[in-house]
Structure 1
C-alpha cells in the first residue's frame, strides 16, 4: 500500500483533537495516539513495511524504547530479520537488572526505534544508557516526527534521524483527501 494511503489510515485511526499535554510540557490541540495505530495489525504491518526501507545499512540491533517503540521495533524485526532489544526507561531493580532485554547490545551498531518524536528527550537518555552498556548507537527511526526540535536535538547528539512521516504531512494528507 502507498504512503498516502498509510498516512490517511494513521490519521483516521490515531488523530485526536482536544487539549493534550505533551512529554515536552507543551500543550497541543492535535495528538496522535500511537497505541491506536500500533494495536491495529494491518496498520502496524504497513508501518513496518515502509519503515524497514529506512533502516540504515549496518544496523545490527533494532532497539525499541519502552513502551511505544516496542511494538514498532518488534514488527520491524519481523520484516527485516534484524534482532531486537527492548529498552527500559530505567534498568530493572530485580531479576536480571537489565536496561535492555532481548539481544545483547554490547559492541553492536544500534538503531533506536520510537513511535512519535517531539523533543527527543527520552531518546537521548536511552541512547546514553545504551552507549554505557557498550552499544554503538548511531541512528533513530520513528513513525511520526512531531516537531523539528526533536530532529535538531538528536542530530546535535550525532544521531542520524529518519522519520516515516512528519506531523504536518499527516495533517496535510488528510486535508487533501477531504
Structure 2
C-alpha cells in the first residue's frame, strides 16, 4: 500500500469499486468478484482523492502521463489535474479513421512518460503500451495503477525494465473485499 494511503480511502475504494459478481477475464477465466474502475471513475470525490493520493507515486522526472484505454483514461485525467502534468491516451490499436493515431493527447516523443492504469494483473497491456510509446520515441520506465493483483505483472514488467507502483495491493483491501476479488 502506498505510504500516504489512508484506511478511510481504502474502505471507500473497497465499498465503491469491489463488486461481488461474475467477471470474465480476457483469457476466459471467470472471477467471482472484481474491481470496477468505472464505479471509481463515476464518483468524482473518490476519483479526486485517489488521484491526489496517487500523485505522490509519480516519479519526479515525469513529463507526460499516459492512460491506457479505457480504465486508465479517467485516472490519467484526474492525475493530470492533480499534478499539472500533460496527459496522453493510449488506444488499444491504431484508429482506422480520422487521425489514425494510436497515441492521443500530449506529445510523447523524447519525453519521460509514466503509464497509468486501473488494475494490473499480468502486465500485458502495460507492456504493449510501453512498446508503442518506445517505438514512438518516448522513454517509459514506470507504471502506476490503483490495484495490483498478484498475477505476475510486476515481475513481467521488471523483465522489460519497468517499475510498477500500485496505490494498493489486493492484500491491502479489507478482508471481505480482498477475498471477493481473489
Pairwise same-fold verdict (TM > 0.5):
yes
Query: Larger relative CO (CA 8 A, sep 6+): 1 or 2?
Result: 2
Contact 1:8/1:173 (8 A) holds in 2: no
The equivalent of 1:86 in structure 2 is 89
Q: Aligned match of 2:101 in 84, 98, 103?
A: 98
Measure, in 1, the Cα distance between the counterparts of 2:28 and 2:164.
22
Task: Specify every segment of 5 or more residues in structure 1 that has no aligned partner in the other structure, as ranges.
Answer: none
The equivalent of 1:144 in structure 2 is 147
Quote how far apart the aligned CAs of 1:172 are.
Answer: 3.4
The equivalent of 2:23 in structure 1 is 20
More moved, 28-37 vs 77-86: 28-37
Deviations 1:103-152 (CA, angstroms, capped at 9, x unpaired): 11000000000001111111111110111111111100000111241111
Q: Is the aligned partner of 1:59 residue 2:24? A: no
Give the match's secondary structure for 1:137.
strand
Q: Aligned match of 1:71 in 61, 74, 80?
A: 74
The aligned length equals: 175
Task: Provide the alpha-carbon RMSD of the alignment.
Answer: 1.7
Q: Is the aligned partner of 1:158 residue 2:161? A: yes
Measure, in 2, the Cα distance between the counterparts of 1:172 and 1:166.
12
The equivalent of 1:109 in structure 2 is 112
TM-score normalised to the size of structure 1? 0.92
